[in-house]
Chains A and B, each alone.
Chain A
Amino acid sequence: MATTTELLQGTLDLLILKAVSLRPEHGYGILLRIQQISRDALQIQQGSLYPALYRLEHQGLIASDWGESENKRRAKFYRLTAAGRRRLKDEAAYWKRFSEAIGLVLAAAPEDV
Chain B
Amino acid sequence: MTRLPRLRSFLSALLRRRRLEADMEAEWRAHLDTHVDALVAAGMSRDEATRRARKDFGDPLRWKEQAFEVRGVSWVNDLGADIRYGLRQMRRSPVFTATVMVTLAAGIGLNTAVFSVIDAVLLRSLDYPDPERVLWITGGNKQEFVGAVDFLAWKEQATSFDGLVAFDISDSALHTADTVVQTRVASVSDDFWAVSNARPMLGRLPLEREDAVLLAYPFYVRAFHADPMVVGGAVTLNGRQVTIAGVLPPGFRPQLTKPLASSGIPENVNDAYRTLTVPPPTKAPNGMITTRLVNVIGKLKAGLSVERAQADLEAIRRRTTTTNVGMPLPPALRMMPLRERIVGDATRPLIVLLAAAVFVFLIACANVAHLFLARASSRRSEVAIRASIGAGRWRLARQFFVESALIAAAGAIAGLVVARWSLATIVRILPYGVPRLQETTIDGRALAFAAAASIVAALVFGLVPVWSMWKDDARGVLKQALYGTLPIGSRLRTRATLVALEFALTIVLLVGAGLLIKSLWRLNALPDGFHPDRIVTMEVQFFGPSYREVDVRRTHVAEVLRRVSAVPGVSAAAMTTNAGFTVRLNREGDPFPPTPNDPTAAFARGTIASAGLAQVMGMRLVKGRWLTDSEPSPAWVINETFVRRHFGDSDPIGARFRYPGGKEAWATVVGVVADRKLQRLDAGAEPEFYIDYAHDLTFGYSIVASVAIDAATAAGQVRRTAAGVDAAVPVLEVRTLEAVLADSIAPYRFNLFTVGLFAAVALLLASVGIYGTLAYATSRRTQEIGIRLTLGAARGEVVAMVIRQGMTVALIGTLVGLVIGAGLPRMMRDLLYEVSPSDPYVFAVASAVLLLVGFAASLGPALRAASVQPLVALRHE
Residue numbers of A with Cβ under 8 A of B are 26-28, 45-48, 50-52, 54-55, 57-61, 69, 71, 73-76, 83
CA distance A46 to B33 in the complex (A): 13
Bitwise interface map of B from 1 to 27 toward A, beta carbon under 8 Å scored 1, else 0: 110011001100000000000011011
User: Do residues B1 and A60 form an inter-chain contact, with CB atoms below 8 A?
Assistant: yes
Number of A-B contacts (CB under 8 A): 76
Report yes or no: B30 in contact with A51, Cβ–Cβ below 8 A: no
B318 at the interface (CB under 8 A from A): no
Interface pair B37/A71, CB less than 8 Å apart = yes
Known: A26-B30, A60-B2. A48 touches B71 (CB 8 A): no
Leading 4 A-B pairs by shortest Cβ distance: A51-B66, A55-B70, A45-B58, A60-B2
Does chain A have a CB within 8 A of B75?
A: no
* Minimum CB distance partner of A59 in chain B: B2
Tell me whether A28 and B34 are in contact in the complex, defined as CB-CB below 8 angstroms, given that A46-B58, A50-B27, A50-B28 are known contacts. yes
A69 to B30, Cβ gap below 8 A? yes
Asked if B624 is at the interface (CB within 8 A of a chain A CB), the reply is no
Please indicate the chain B residues that have their CB under 8 angstroms from the CB of A47 in the complex.
28, 57-60, 62-63
7 pairs, A vs B, C-beta closer than 8 Å: A47-B62, A47-B63, A48-B58, A50-B24, A58-B70, A60-B5, A75-B34
Check A46/B56 contact, CB under 8 A, given A58-B71, A60-B2.
yes
How distant is B10 from chain A, measured CB to nearest CB, in Å? Answer: 8
Complex Cα distance, B28 from A76, in Å, reads 10
In the complex, what residues of A have CB within 8 A of residue B57's CB? 45-47
- Bound together, the chains give a CA A74 to CA B69 distance in angstroms of 26
Q: Measured between alpha carbons, how far is A9 from B35 in the docked complex, in Å? A: 24
Q: Which of B9, B23, B35, B58 contacts A28 (CB 8 A)?
A: B35
Return chain A residues, CB-CB under 8 Å to B24. 50
Asked whether any CB of chain A lies closer than 8 Å to the CB of B67, the reply is yes
CA distance A57 to B13 in the complex (A): 12
Q: Chain A residues near B56: list those with CB within 8 A.
A: 45-46
Flag if B35 contacts A51 (CB, 8 Å): no
Chain A: minimal CB distance from B3 (Å)? 9
Write the chain A residue with the least CB distance to B65. A51
Chain A residues closer than 8 Å to B23, beta-carbon distance? 76
Docked-complex contact A51 and B67, CB < 8 angstroms: yes
- Beyond contacts A26-B30, A51-B70, A55-B70: 10 other A-B pairs, Cβ-Cβ < 8 A, are A26-B31, A27-B27, A46-B35, A48-B66, A55-B71, A60-B6, A61-B2, A71-B34, A75-B27, A76-B23
Among residues of A, the one whose C-beta sits closest to the C-beta of B1 is A83
B66: A residues at CB distance < 8 A: 48, 51
- Asked if residues B70 and A54 are in contact (CB atoms below 8 Å), the reply is yes
- Given A47-B59, A51-B63, A71-B37, A28 contacting B6 (CB threshold 8 A): no
B662 interface hit (Cβ, 8 Å): no
Q: Which residues of B from 55 to 101 have beta carbons under 8 Å from A?
A: 56-60, 62-63, 66-67, 69-72
Report the minimal beta-carbon distance from B836 to chain A, rounded to whole angstroms.
76
Which residue in A54, A55, A74 is a CB contact (below 8 Å) of B30?
A: A74
- Chain B residues within 8 Å of A57, by CB: 9
Chain B residue numbers with a CB within 8 Å of A75 are: 27, 30-31, 34
A45-B57, A47-B57 known; A54 and B67 CB under 8 Å? yes
> In the complex, what residue of chain B is closest to A27 when comparing beta carbons?
B31
Contact residues in B for A46 (Cβ distance below 8 Å)? 31, 35, 56-58
A7 to chain B, nearest CB (A): 14
A73 to B26, CA, bound (A): 10
Tell me the B787-832 residues at the A interface (CB within 8 Å): none
Could you say which of B1, B9, B34 contacts A69, with CB atoms under 8 Å apart?
B34
Query: A26 vs B71: C-alpha distance in the bound complex, in angstroms?
Result: 20
Chain A, residue nearest B35 (CB): A28
Q: Which of B1, B34, B58, B67 has the most A CB atoms < 10 Å from its CB?
A: B34
What residue of chain B has the Cβ atom nearest to residue A29's Cβ?
B34
Chain B residues near A27: list those with CB within 8 A: 27-28, 31
Closest to A44 in B: B58
List chain B residues, Cβ under 8 A from A52: 70
Known contacts A28-B35, A59-B2, A74-B30: A50-B9 contact under CB 8 Å: no
Among residues of A, the one whose C-beta sits closest to the C-beta of B70 is A55
CA distance A69 to B59 in the complex (A): 24
In the bound assembly, the distance between CA atoms of A45 and B56 in angstroms comes to: 6
